[in-house]
Amino acid sequence: MSHARKDTFTLGQLAKRVGLARSSVLHYESVGLLAPYARSPAGYRLYGEPELDRLLTIRRLRESGLALADIRIILSPSDESDLRGGTGPMAILEKRLLGLTQEVERIRTQQRLIAHLLAAPDIRNRRQQWDKASWVALLRRAGFDEEAMHLWHVEFERENPDEHANFLTLLGLNPAEVAEIQCWSKAEAKSD
């Protein structure tokens, strides 16, 4: 049976072109997300540009964290997915976006907690001394921007003003700098 297309790929060629393992492509076939357009006389699966495009879409959707069941809905014909009432492609993508937002917030909360732990006296006494530059560099590497660092000071001041002052002093800040940071931290903590 000859269904030759301009650009035809075998399973291995397709997998390599998309950057997936052959087993992943076969798995997507087994769950009905992808199908070869034909088989060669020797029985090899043959794929064309449409299958390549579909596999690239599947890979992008997987990289976004979507489950195969959700991908199946997203890739199904629009009339079929529109009948699902709130579980169509838009609803699935919106739900994933909101879920990622919640995950990011959870991770940011964990970052703030770890930053507080690093500033805790019992931890501080067991490690190298920090200075302001190395502390700011650590927080930046952890993804803190100016606003997040500002919020960190506000939370630390609210929870334990004395330890906040001690920590700032250990970073090498002079008394005037410590007082200034504590002043705006207290003011913002009260406005919350």
Q: 10-46, pLDDT tens digit by residue?
A: 999 999 999 999 999 999 999 999 999 999 999 999 9
Of 34-38, 125-129, 142-146, 169-173, give the lowest mean pLDDT range. 125-129
Rg for the chain, CA atoms, rounded: 27
Numbered ranges of CATH 1.10.1660.10 in the chain: 11-66
- Which CATH class, in words, describes the domain spanning 11-66? mainly alpha
Report the percentage of the chain scoring pLDDT > 90: 46
Identity of residue 29: E
- Distance in angstroms (rounded) separating the CA atoms of residues 158 and 61: 42
Most confident of 20-24, 122-126, 168-172: 20-24
For 52-105, how does the pLDDT look when each residue is reduced to its tens digit (9 = 90+)?
Answer: 999 999 999 999 999 999 999 999 876 554 545 567 888 999 999 999 999 888
Quote the pLDDT of residue 81: 46
Token output for 177: 């700098």
- Distance in angstroms (rounded) separating the CA atoms of residues 145 and 150: 9
CA distances from 51 to 6, 40, 73 (A): 13, 16, 17
- Distance in angstroms (rounded) separating the CA atoms of residues 179 and 35: 67
pTM higher than the cut 0.85: no
State the maximum Cα–Cα separation within the chain, in Å, rounded to a whole number: 85
**Quick check: 126 pLDDT over 70?**
no
3-state secondary structure of 2: coil
Handedness of CA 72, 73, 78, 79 (dihedral sign): positive
